[in-house]
Amino acid sequence: MDEKEIERLLDKFDRSSLKNFELAQDDFKLKFSKREGDDHAVVEDSAQAASASTNGLGHGQNSQPTTVEQPETPVAQNVAEIKAPLVGVVYFAPSPDKPAFKKQGDHVEKGDVVCVIEAMKMINEVKSDVTGTISNILVEDGSMVEYDQPIFQVTKG
């Protein structure tokens, strides 16, 4: 992707109502993000391999995702949240016939895959950034999640 194409994408993104945009092709990754209260887009691109893969998992081809509204609840000091890194449909198992990555009550290590999010026919792994025990699952399997929406609560320790 050349500079003109990136500028064209950035211009379209800037004029759109989108808050985040991510594109991954081979080992090229481009991410646009608008900060809240800011009219300008932040551009991040990297030449490292994208964590997204389309290895035939085939989640949600024809499903109608539903959004789960989350009440604003305070989070205890020893509880961390694993949040959605992008907008898409969340799945707790690698495929419909496989067991869930993690369930409520399971121990999770930093770097463990806890779920996947499907966005634009690409499957993106969501990894834990904390070590602890999954104390609460905040969304339903197969539901639509927003960027930075909490998916799990993890009791540290």
Q: Above 50 in pLDDT, residue 66?
A: no
**pLDDT, tens only, 41-62:** 444 444 433 333 333 444 444 4
Contact in structure between 145 and 60 (CB atoms under 8 Å): no
Q: 62: helix, coil or strand?
A: coil
Question: What is the structure's pLDDT at 34?
Answer: 73
Mean predicted confidence (pLDDT) in 85-109: 94
Q: Above 80 in pLDDT, residue 69?
A: no
Question: What is the structure's pLDDT at 104?
Answer: 94
Mean predicted confidence (pLDDT) in 71-91: 81
Contact in structure between 115 and 151 (CB atoms under 8 Å): yes
For residues 11 and 122, the model is more confident at 122
Domains of the chain: 3-46 (no CATH), 79-156 (2.40.50.100)
Q: What does the alpha-carbon distance between residue 152 and residue 84 come to, in Å, rounded to a whole number?
A: 9
**CA dihedral sign of residues 92, 95, 96, 102:** negative
The segment with the largest mean pLDDT, out of 1-5, 22-26, 35-39, 109-113, is 109-113
Structural element, H or E, at residue 11: helix 3-15
Weakest-pLDDT range from 46-50, 72-76, 124-128: 46-50
Q: Tokens 């779920």 map to which residue?
A: 115
Where are the extended beta strands (E) located within 10-86? 20-25, 28-34, 41-46, 79-83
Q: Which among 135, 139, 138, 140 has a CA at the least distance from the CA of 157?
A: 135
Q: Which among 149, 124, 137, 142 has a CA at the least distance from the CA of 65?
A: 142
For residues 48 and 133, the model is more confident at 133
Q: How many CA atoms lie within 13 A of 83 on its CB side?
A: 11
Q: Above 80 in pLDDT, residue 9?
A: no
